[in-house]
Chains A and B, each alone.
Chain A
Amino acid sequence: MSMERERIDIILDRCLDDVRLGKKSVKECLRAYPVLNEEDVSLLEVVEKLKAGSSLSASSEFHSGAEIRIKNLILSKSNPPSNPASEETIYERIKRTLFGAGDYSRGLTHRKRFSFAALLAVIIFSMLLVSSGVVIASAKALPGDIFYPIKLSLETTRLSISQSESDDGLLHLEFASRRLNEIDQLLALRRTAEVNQALNLYARQVSASLEILLEGKNLTETQRVILAHEYEKLLSLNVDRLNDLLTKVPSDLQEVVIFALAYSKNSVLSSQDILSRTQSIVDKQAEPDPVQIVPGASQISTESPAETAIPTPTMQPLGIPDNSATKPSNFRETAVDWWANDPVAGLFFRDLYWPEEWFDDEDFEWFENWPEEWPKPGNWSDLRSTIEPTLEYLGTKFPVDETPDPSDIIQTVFPTIPPRP
């Protein structure tokens, strides 16, 4: 390459930058550097075209819920189910489809049991902490506080030294309730930035507890039922608290609250399933006392449960849907009520129960632009992406190559409601 051409290339390179950054147009470059030839100008024109590419972004559909999707993918990949097709129960399947593999619990329930030496070390460490007053300080710590990690590590220690899986399950729920208490305190202190962390920790605890309930290998059937009873009671309270929280948190946190809510509802649902399958045992244990949970109680074990029932929704929609032949006058309001009560149920009804012809253009627009005054569980498109896995789950109930009748879908999910209009 000649010296002259090298010099021109340096100029051209500068012009390429100028055009790319919008500092100069191609014509201005040519005016400033007449030495540029026709070929050089054509390259500048190519760069001018390429500039348009920098404004490209992924579709809004892809953007909506992208963060939740990637988190779910990560969590589901890090603990894939052993044999999802054949062994899992229907609720495990819901859990898998709704939340991935539910690996929020990783590091808690999958931890290895400590060796005796390690256990001793933990106890000595804990005693040192107690004697230094750190424990007292950490007990009141909130997410973001300097002592908060110590609070969490002490919880892990308690789990490490607990004597049974059912104790573990109850501890996880106790810690989950702590997280909700912390959220209340954070909101009172207007420390909303840390609420997200607390909610995620909450979800981890709930997921860990659910994993024990569904997969605990050392649980006897009786222990499982007692745990299910406790779970249903405690988590139903948490559902109420989270629903209340939904109205208090800023809009950017609502998505996480809904996520935590979904975890809780899913656990309640699973607990109810276990209880319904072993109703006779529940009758015997009308007021279960966690103290009764002792290893070796399997003598009372029951026969293996019958085939798993069709899942009922996590919450029944408010009232029985109107299945009259005409479009109800309170059409939109009813949908909002359902939606606010349970987004999953809301979606099913909105999209599947009512005939499509009831939705005119205004309705579609109205549902897309959710009015401010209505309860707003979260951004519509984010929520839709959260719910998509449930719809995928439905896909497993119906052949992929057939288009199921919406009535069949509705009847599968909500067998007790009247036929579709």
Chain B
Amino acid sequence: MPATKPEEINLVERARNGDVDAFGVLYKLHLDEIYRYIFFRVSNDRDAEDLTEQVFLNVWEALPEFEYQGKPFTSWVYRIAHNIVIDYYRSNNKKPVPIEELYSDKLITDHPTTLQKVIENEEYQMLANAISKLTDEQQQVIILRFIEGFSHREVAEVLDKNEGACRMIQFRALKALKESLLESRIGR
């Protein structure tokens, strides 16, 4: 996670003051990373898109309360995203969707695509499915650390834990993920 740039601070400040356009720019800036974070937790691209939008709506509503306290703006956005994912599972009593169910449908309905794209999608889906079987904290650490490329300190900021604890979670998460990936392969 790169350090917050002055332009972003300016955009956040403008958005805090009700500037919808500035918020639109922030949205475009962070859309993909929040989408990725959510996708790998809910394993469903449509839901991930809807939830991404919901995250930013919540961000907009909570913006007047946001204050820079030495942590980047995105740390705060990730925390909101995390809460949205928790709500998603709670309110819908959802469970990760089996890969076959999601993927067979996708193959039929998607626009013509190259084999490479299909393989990529399959990889993403398999990863998402495996990640979604981890505990909540493990999911966060894995996604932030290895998909988004956060340092231990940055992960700690989002999770509001110390770095040592995050490092421990990371090792456990990787081991659990290894098992989960193995299961996914065997299950297919």
| Residue ranges of A at the interface with B (Cβ–Cβ < 8 Å) | 9, 12-13, 16, 20-21, 39, 42-43, 45-47, 49-59, 62-63, 66-71, 73-75, 77, 107, 196-197, 200
Among B28, B48, B57, B145, point to the contact of A66 (Cβ < 8 A): B28
Interchain CB contact under 8 A, A58 and B31: yes
Q: Is B157 an interface residue (CB 8 A)?
A: no
> Which residues of chain B are near A46, meaning CB under 8 Å?
174, 177-178, 181
Extra inter-chain contacts (15) besides given A16-B174, A74-B20, CB under 8 Å: A9-B167, A9-B171, A13-B170, A20-B149, A50-B177, A52-B123, A52-B124, A58-B32, A63-B31, A67-B25, A69-B53, A74-B23, A75-B20, A107-B18, A200-B20
Among B24, B35, B123, point to the contact of A70 (Cβ < 8 A): B24
Complex interface residues of chain B between 115 and 130 (CB less than 8 A to chain A): 120, 123-124, 127
> Which residues of chain A are near B21, meaning CB under 8 Å?
71, 196-197, 200
Interchain CB contact under 8 A, A50 and B28: no
A58 and B52 in contact, given A50-B147, A53-B36 (Cβ under 8 angstroms): yes
> Which residues of chain A are near B42, meaning CB under 8 Å?
none
Among B36, B167, B170, point to the contact of A56 (Cβ < 8 A): B36
Interchain CB contact under 8 A, B147 and A54: yes
Q: Is B45 an interface residue (CB 8 A)?
A: yes
Among B35, B40, B56, B146, point to the contact of A51 (Cβ < 8 A): B146
Interchain CB contact under 8 A, B20 and A71: yes
Interchain CB contact under 8 A, B39 and A56: yes
Instruction: Write 20 A-B pairs (CB below 8 A) sorted by A numbering.
Output: A20-B146, A21-B149, A39-B175, A43-B175, A49-B181, A50-B142, A53-B40, A53-B147, A54-B36, A56-B35, A56-B40, A56-B147, A58-B31, A71-B24, A73-B53, A73-B57, A74-B57, A107-B18, A200-B20, A200-B21
Interchain CB contact under 8 A, A54 and B148: yes
Q: Is B49 an interface residue (CB 8 A)?
A: yes
Among A13, A50, A62, A74, point to the contact of B127 (Cβ < 8 A): A50
Q: How far is the CA of A39 from the CA of B174 in the complex (A)?
A: 11
Complex interface residues of chain B between 40 and 87 (CB less than 8 A to chain A): 40, 45, 48-49, 52-53, 56-57, 60-61
CB distance from B108 to the nearest CB of A (A): 16
CB distance from B109 to the nearest CB of A (A): 13
Q: How far is the CA of A370 from the CA of B14 in the complex (A)?
A: 36
CB distance from A79 to the nearest CB of B (A): 13
Q: Is B103 an interface residue (CB 8 A)?
A: no
Among A13, A54, A70, point to the contact of B27 (Cβ < 8 A): A70
Q: How far is the CA of A200 from the CA of B127 in the complex (A)?
A: 42
> Which residues of chain B are near A57, meaning CB under 8 Å?
32, 35-36
> Which residues of chain A are near B142, meaning CB under 8 Å?
50
- Of the candidates A70, A71, A73, the one having the most CB atoms from chain B within 10 angstroms of its own CB is A70
- Please encode chain B, from 1 to 35, with 1 for each CB lying within 8 Å of some chain A CB and 0 for all others: 00000000000000000101101110110011001
A67 and B124 in contact, given A54-B149, A57-B36, A77-B57 (Cβ under 8 angstroms): no
> Which residues of chain A are near B24, meaning CB under 8 Å?
67-68, 70-71
CB distance from A285 to the nearest CB of B (A): 38
> Which residues of chain B are near A200, meaning CB under 8 Å?
20-21
Closest to B143 in A: A53
- Of the candidates B20, B48, B53, B170, the one having the most CB atoms from chain A within 10 angstroms of its own CB is B20
- Of the candidates A42, A43, A50, A51, the one having the most CB atoms from chain B within 10 angstroms of its own CB is A50
Q: How far is the CA of A39 from the CA of B178 in the complex (A)?
A: 10
Q: How far is the CA of A77 from the CA of B36 in the complex (A)?
A: 25
Q: How far is the CA of A222 from the CA of B131 in the complex (A)?
A: 65
Q: How far is the CA of A75 from the CA of B123 in the complex (A)?
A: 38
Q: How far is the CA of A63 from the CA of B34 in the complex (A)?
A: 13
> Which residues of chain B are near A68, meaning CB under 8 Å?
24
> Which residues of chain A are near B167, meaning CB under 8 Å?
9, 13
- Shortest beta-carbon contacts, A-B, top 6: A50-B146, A67-B24, A53-B147, A58-B35, A57-B32, A43-B174
CB distance from B134 to the nearest CB of A (A): 12
